[in-house]
Amino acid sequence: MKIDNLYKIDKSEISHESDLSSAACFLVTLDKSHRIFTGHFPGTPVLPGVCTLQILKDCLFSLTGESLLFSDISQCKFTGMVDPCADEKLSVNISKKKISESLLLINATVSVTDCDRIILKFKGKCSTL
Protein backbone atom coordinates (compact mmCIF):
# COMPACT_ATOMS: atom_id res chain seq x y z
CA MET A 1 0.00 0.00 0.00
CA LYS A 2 1.65 3.19 -1.16
CA ILE A 3 1.97 6.01 1.35
CA ASP A 4 -0.16 8.88 -0.05
CA ASN A 5 1.91 9.57 -3.16
CA LEU A 6 5.24 9.64 -1.32
CA TYR A 7 6.79 7.83 -4.29
CA LYS A 8 6.00 6.17 -7.57
CA ILE A 9 7.43 3.09 -9.18
CA ASP A 10 8.59 4.31 -12.59
CA LYS A 11 10.04 1.23 -14.22
CA SER A 12 10.65 -2.43 -13.56
CA GLU A 13 12.79 -5.10 -15.16
CA ILE A 14 11.89 -8.65 -14.17
CA SER A 15 13.76 -11.80 -15.10
CA HIS A 16 12.32 -15.21 -14.31
CA GLU A 17 15.19 -17.59 -13.74
CA SER A 18 12.88 -20.55 -13.11
CA ASP A 19 9.39 -21.32 -11.82
CA LEU A 20 10.73 -20.98 -8.28
CA SER A 21 13.04 -17.97 -8.52
CA SER A 22 13.20 -14.57 -10.15
CA ALA A 23 14.99 -11.25 -9.89
CA ALA A 24 13.86 -7.71 -10.51
CA CYS A 25 15.05 -4.13 -10.53
CA PHE A 26 12.64 -1.27 -9.87
CA LEU A 27 13.26 2.44 -10.33
CA VAL A 28 11.43 4.60 -7.79
CA THR A 29 11.03 8.39 -7.67
CA LEU A 30 10.42 10.15 -4.36
CA ASP A 31 8.17 13.22 -4.10
CA LYS A 32 10.54 15.59 -2.31
CA SER A 33 7.65 17.97 -1.56
CA HIS A 34 5.62 15.29 0.29
CA ARG A 35 4.33 16.39 3.70
CA ILE A 36 6.13 13.56 5.52
CA PHE A 37 9.41 15.45 5.06
CA THR A 38 8.15 18.54 6.90
CA GLY A 39 8.11 16.52 10.12
CA HIS A 40 10.99 14.13 9.41
CA PHE A 41 12.97 16.36 9.89
CA PRO A 42 12.12 20.08 9.57
CA GLY A 43 14.81 21.78 7.49
CA THR A 44 16.74 18.52 7.02
CA PRO A 45 14.40 16.03 5.31
CA VAL A 46 15.19 12.32 5.61
CA LEU A 47 13.21 9.37 4.25
CA PRO A 48 12.02 7.32 7.26
CA GLY A 49 13.37 3.76 7.32
CA VAL A 50 9.87 2.33 7.62
CA CYS A 51 9.01 4.05 4.33
CA THR A 52 12.00 2.38 2.68
CA LEU A 53 10.63 -0.98 3.85
CA GLN A 54 7.20 -0.07 2.46
CA ILE A 55 8.79 0.77 -0.90
CA LEU A 56 10.44 -2.67 -0.85
CA LYS A 57 7.13 -4.31 0.04
CA ASP A 58 5.31 -2.51 -2.79
CA CYS A 59 8.00 -3.58 -5.26
CA LEU A 60 7.58 -7.16 -4.03
CA PHE A 61 3.85 -6.85 -4.72
CA SER A 62 4.64 -5.65 -8.25
CA LEU A 63 6.94 -8.64 -8.71
CA THR A 64 4.63 -11.32 -7.31
CA GLY A 65 1.13 -9.89 -7.69
CA GLU A 66 0.44 -11.04 -4.13
CA SER A 67 0.03 -9.21 -0.83
CA LEU A 68 2.93 -10.27 1.38
CA LEU A 69 3.89 -10.05 5.02
CA PHE A 70 7.50 -9.87 6.24
CA SER A 71 7.42 -13.04 8.36
CA ASP A 72 11.12 -13.43 9.23
CA ILE A 73 13.77 -10.74 8.82
CA SER A 74 17.29 -12.09 9.24
CA GLN A 75 18.97 -8.87 8.05
CA CYS A 76 17.62 -5.35 7.78
CA LYS A 77 20.55 -2.97 7.71
CA PHE A 78 20.09 0.71 6.95
CA THR A 79 23.46 1.86 5.66
CA GLY A 80 22.71 5.48 4.87
CA MET A 81 20.15 8.24 4.95
CA VAL A 82 18.08 9.41 2.01
CA ASP A 83 17.79 13.17 1.54
CA PRO A 84 14.85 13.45 -0.89
CA CYS A 85 16.17 16.77 -2.24
CA ALA A 86 19.49 15.20 -3.29
CA ASP A 87 18.51 11.52 -3.62
CA GLU A 88 15.21 11.67 -5.51
CA LYS A 89 15.61 8.38 -7.42
CA LEU A 90 16.07 4.97 -5.82
CA SER A 91 16.82 1.54 -7.28
CA VAL A 92 15.30 -1.53 -5.64
CA ASN A 93 16.97 -4.83 -6.55
CA ILE A 94 15.18 -7.99 -5.47
CA SER A 95 15.99 -11.66 -5.73
CA LYS A 96 13.24 -14.05 -4.62
CA LYS A 97 13.03 -17.80 -4.29
CA LYS A 98 9.91 -19.78 -3.50
CA ILE A 99 10.67 -22.15 -0.61
CA SER A 100 7.13 -23.39 0.03
CA GLU A 101 3.60 -22.79 -1.23
CA SER A 102 3.18 -19.66 0.89
CA LEU A 103 6.76 -18.62 1.73
CA LEU A 104 9.36 -16.66 -0.27
CA LEU A 105 13.03 -16.11 0.51
CA ILE A 106 13.97 -12.50 -0.28
CA ASN A 107 17.35 -10.81 -0.79
CA ALA A 108 17.13 -7.12 -1.62
CA THR A 109 19.02 -3.87 -1.70
CA VAL A 110 17.76 -0.33 -2.04
CA SER A 111 20.23 2.20 -3.37
CA VAL A 112 20.41 5.78 -4.58
CA THR A 113 20.25 5.48 -8.36
CA ASP A 114 22.62 8.31 -9.27
CA CYS A 115 25.59 7.06 -7.24
CA ASP A 116 24.75 3.40 -6.46
CA ARG A 117 25.05 4.16 -2.73
CA ILE A 118 23.28 1.32 -0.90
CA ILE A 119 20.89 2.52 1.79
CA LEU A 120 19.22 -0.78 2.74
CA LYS A 121 20.34 -4.41 2.76
CA PHE A 122 17.51 -6.84 3.40
CA LYS A 123 17.34 -10.62 3.80
CA GLY A 124 14.26 -12.37 5.02
CA LYS A 125 11.15 -14.37 4.32
CA CYS A 126 7.75 -13.21 3.20
CA SER A 127 4.53 -15.12 3.51
CA THR A 128 1.45 -14.66 1.39
CA LEU A 129 -1.64 -13.23 3.04
Count helices and strands in the chain by DSSP H and E runs:
2, 6
Domains and CATH numbers, the chain: 7-128 (3.10.129.10)
Chain centroid to Cα 95, Å, comes to 12
The pLDDT tens digits for 22-58 are 999 999 999 999 999 999 998 999 999 999 999 999 9
The total number of residues shown for the chain amounts to: 129
Q: How far apart are the first and last CA of the chain?
A: 14
Nearest to 108 by CA among 63, 67, 65: 63
The pLDDT tens digits for 43-99 are 999 999 999 999 999 999 999 999 999 999 999 999 999 999 999 999 999 999 999
pLDDT (average), residues 117-124: 98
Tell me which DSSP letter residue 4 carries: T
Strands 7-16 and 89-100: unpaired
